[in-house]
Chain A
């Protein structure tokens, strides 16, 4: 016990030094720019303006709230997140449950199924874009072969939204599958067996025993997926050429990009960024809850 307390005392002294490099990176690359964004958001800076910039208080925020494109971008962001979750979570959990059965060949299937997860989103998005092509794309060709009339994927708002949801799901389902698989491996088998002996069928066991036991794992997965959906940038940049057609798939992140780097309205983009931070903060609260339960 004496050794332990002396280790702790030594460690506390050393710890500040060990975390110093992390602090440097976080402060230089995140904290400083966010303070910079707050400062910019109260001014009227644009790239290449003639008049010297000045302090305009909350005008950029007022402009954002009055802009229909701002509200449209929030709606698009929410739709992409919600549709994505509705597609990804059931499929990811379902595949995990099937892999958990440990049928012959499971190893091979697991290897194949995780491949999409870590591929470069920009490259992947570009190839899906080719596959979604209305005239020459392999997807609409296959749909036509099945007697279906494929939508104009990238030419309409909902077609483009679904295209992004499909590619995002293609990359995210393996992640959900792996986390749930790890969660399943950690569950005690007793309650499931007991329910089976009591006459419950496989479906009942899943919904009444396994799924509730997975609650904390699913909550963590859900949270990570929400965070990453809000962050989604590369896929939209590539698949719909930065939020097209028109502004149909312009998420809040894309609106910030287009405002700051398309129209060079630095200060307005900064204000939108601060609003986005405020919207992400509730997730932090969710995270704390999930961490406590997990």
Chain B
């Protein structure tokens, strides 16, 4: 009897905490979306209007009418996709080497470098990178940004891919080798098909990180390679903070991610756990 009561109280407490946590997790998202479809008057009233307001698309129209917004969105998509492909490709090759070859000359230096790249704050390299890119004439250059985006995510992607390569049984590769297949053939025909799901998970992760990247483009992109996070950050310099369009721009950045997170959560969760613990 007492034990049953205790269990019931435990359950009630658990659900209360979960509900509270869910509310805190979702409210800012709800508030962003609802502010993005409010008129200026409905935005600036107290008590706040949670549901009883006339929705409007004006804020989104204002964002799309901003000069160069299409260009900015396209920049973000192109830089995200290109850098993600580059990063996953480079990291998969390195992960295969690290997972399957216990001894090669640059192994130890590479392991150390990956940790340092992950640990050293990128702001440190930004000042010299600014000088270097200016001198080389590649400031505000898409290709330079793609290389930098790819580089900052190499450690995470490599560790993640290593955990997927390690799940492939070595015996499969050995029997292919006995049958006379070369190493590259084995990598292409035996290993690659088996790590494709892992590569997909890594791709989603790296793409999200690239989509969100702010430090690199805010310092090294001017008008031609400007990305969405830089555009959004521009709002804080405006004299009058205009919350409607700001919320609309934010929604355009975070809504795709929120949806993707829910759809791909299984992959994200397993990937994140193995990749992080590996690191």
- Name which of B58-66, B115-123, B194-202 contacts chain A: B115-123
Alpha-carbon gap, A217 to B103, bound state (A): 28
A89 within 8 Å of B (CB atoms): no
Best-buried of B25, B35, B102, B113 by chain A (most CB within 10 Å): B25
Residues of the B chain whose Cβ atoms lie less than 8 Å from the Cβ of A86: none
Best-buried of A105, A127, A237, A260 by chain B (most CB within 10 Å): A127
Residues of the A chain whose Cβ atoms lie less than 8 Å from the Cβ of B31: 127, 130-131, 138
> A36 near B131 (CB under 8 angstroms)?
yes
Residues of the B chain whose Cβ atoms lie less than 8 Å from the Cβ of A109: 18, 21-22
B137 within 8 Å of A (CB atoms): no
Residues of the A chain whose Cβ atoms lie less than 8 Å from the Cβ of B129: 29, 33, 36
> B21 near A95 (CB under 8 angstroms)?
yes
B130 within 8 Å of A (CB atoms): yes
B265 within 8 Å of A (CB atoms): yes
Alpha-carbon gap, A228 to B249, bound state (A): 26
> B261 near A115 (CB under 8 angstroms)?
yes
- Name which of A174-182, A187-195, A205-213 contacts chain B: A174-182
Across the interface, name the chain A residue whose C-beta is closest to B18: A109
> B21 near A113 (CB under 8 angstroms)?
yes
Residues of the B chain whose Cβ atoms lie less than 8 Å from the Cβ of A114: 261, 265, 268-269
> A273 near B236 (CB under 8 angstroms)?
no
> B277 near A220 (CB under 8 angstroms)?
yes
Number of A-B contacts (CB under 8 A): 310
Indicate which residue in A16, A26, A241, A274 contacts B154 across the interface (CB closer than 8 Å): A26
> A233 near B215 (CB under 8 angstroms)?
yes
A74 within 8 Å of B (CB atoms): no
The smallest C-beta distance from B53 to any residue of chain A, in angstroms, reads: 14
Contact residues, A122-181 vs B (CB, 8 A): 122-124, 126-131, 136, 138, 141, 145, 170, 174-175, 178-179, 181
Indicate which residue in B97, B243, B268 contacts A14 across the interface (CB closer than 8 Å): B97
Alpha-carbon gap, A7 to B183, bound state (A): 8
The smallest C-beta distance from B97 to any residue of chain A, in angstroms, reads: 4
Across the interface, name the chain A residue whose C-beta is closest to B230: A122
Given contacts A122-B233, A127-B28, contact A234 B214 (CB under 8 A): yes
Alpha-carbon gap, A123 to B248, bound state (A): 10
Interface 0/1 of B122-135, CB less than 8 Å to A: 11111111111000
> A233 near B123 (CB under 8 angstroms)?
yes
Which DSSP category, helix, strand, loop or mixed, fits chain B's interface? helix
The smallest C-beta distance from A73 to any residue of chain B, in angstroms, reads: 12
Given contacts A14-B183, A21-B90, A238-B233, contact A26 B124 (CB under 8 A): no
A227 within 8 Å of B (CB atoms): yes
Residues of the B chain whose Cβ atoms lie less than 8 Å from the Cβ of A183: 277
Residues of the B chain whose Cβ atoms lie less than 8 Å from the Cβ of A270: 127-128
Interface 0/1 of A213-246, CB less than 8 Å to B: 0000100110010010011011001100100000
The smallest C-beta distance from B101 to any residue of chain A, in angstroms, reads: 4
Residues of the B chain whose Cβ atoms lie less than 8 Å from the Cβ of A170: 24-25, 28
> A112 near B26 (CB under 8 angstroms)?
yes
Residues of the A chain whose Cβ atoms lie less than 8 Å from the Cβ of B28: 116, 124, 127-128, 131, 170
A118 within 8 Å of B (CB atoms): yes
Interface 0/1 of B90-110, CB less than 8 Å to A: 110110111011111111001
Residues of the B chain whose Cβ atoms lie less than 8 Å from the Cβ of A33: 125, 128-129, 132
Alpha-carbon gap, A15 to B98, bound state (A): 8
Residues of chain B having any CB pair with chain A under 8 Å: 10-11, 14-15, 17-18, 21-22, 24-26, 28-29, 31-32, 35, 44, 46-48, 89-91, 93-94, 96-98, 100-107, 110, 113-132, 147-148, 150-152, 154, 158, 170, 173-174, 177-178, 183-184, 208, 211-212, 214-215, 218-219, 228-229, 232-233, 235-236, 241, 243, 246-247, 249-251, 253-254, 257-258, 261-262, 265, 268-269, 272-274, 276-277, 279
Considering the complex of A and B, which 6 residue pairs feature the smallest CB-CB distances, nearest first?
A36-B128, A182-B273, A29-B151, A123-B250, A273-B124, A15-B97
13 inter-chain pairs at a CB distance below 8 angstroms, sorted by A residue, are A15-B100, A34-B120, A115-B25, A116-B29, A119-B254, A127-B28, A130-B35, A220-B279, A224-B276, A227-B119, A234-B212, A256-B127, A273-B128
Given A115-B261, A170-B24, A220-B277, 20 other A-B residues pairs in contact with their CB atoms under 8 A: A4-B174, A14-B184, A18-B94, A19-B104, A22-B94, A28-B147, A37-B124, A40-B127, A99-B18, A124-B28, A136-B46, A141-B48, A170-B28, A179-B272, A231-B121, A234-B229, A241-B236, A257-B123, A257-B219, A283-B119
